[in-house]
Amino acid sequence: MKYVNLHTHTSRNLSNTIEIVNQYPHDFQEGFSTYSIGIHPWYLEESRLEEDLKIIKSKLSTNECIALGECGLDKRIEKIYSSQIAVFEAQLDLNKSFSKPVILHCVASFDEVISSKKNSGLTCPFIIHGFSKNEQVAKQLLKQDFYLSFGKYLLRNPDLREVFAQIPNEKIFLETDTIAESLEEVYTFAAQCKNISVEEMQAIVWENYVRVFS
């Protein structure tokens, strides 16, 4: 049983940890044993869109690429929202041949992400990374069978701790994303929120990883 880092932009290359390293098609780096790849809405560029999608399709066919993403929607950036939706759904369409889990960036767009998931017809797991919202939003997503990954905001936002404590164990992932704190610190804090041991927290996330990424 190992630690699992659902979403990170750097690798510590530790033997006791599985890291899903976030990759972008326009800046792909070789050498990671497990990674995800997708077009983040922040970095959507129409001029290279066709090439980016070709790269994503190529990488999804490999064993090292275990997820699509992070991809998704963000209403708080200047990128044209209709274009974001089109590119997000184009990536989901690519994934129909692979049915790999989808790691999602979602800002003020939960209804739209749910709609895109339904429209895609995909039955693979969808995971909201860096979840930071209230219990109502969490319940909305859980009802639609999303998984929720916690990291930075769990450590920073006291209100999120009670939300996390109420999330069913079988729907939880943990991550570091870009924070300075270690994955072990995230697990320790998450375990305290659930009033369980770190070992129990580790077992919960490991079981979810095996089920989702098998």
Binding residue numbers: 70, 105, 129, 177
121 burial (CB, 10 Å; 0-12 / 13-18 / 19+) is: exposed
Pairing of strands 102-107, 17-23: unpaired
Other CB atoms closer than 10 Å to residue 5's CB: what's the count? 29
Question: Which residue positions form the known binding site for a divalent metal cation?
Answer: 70, 105, 129, 177
* Element holding 19 (H helix, E strand): strand 17-23
Q: Which of 33, 97, 36, 92 is nearest to 66 (CA)?
A: 36
Q: Which of 30, 39, 51, 50 is nearest to 79 (CA)?
A: 39
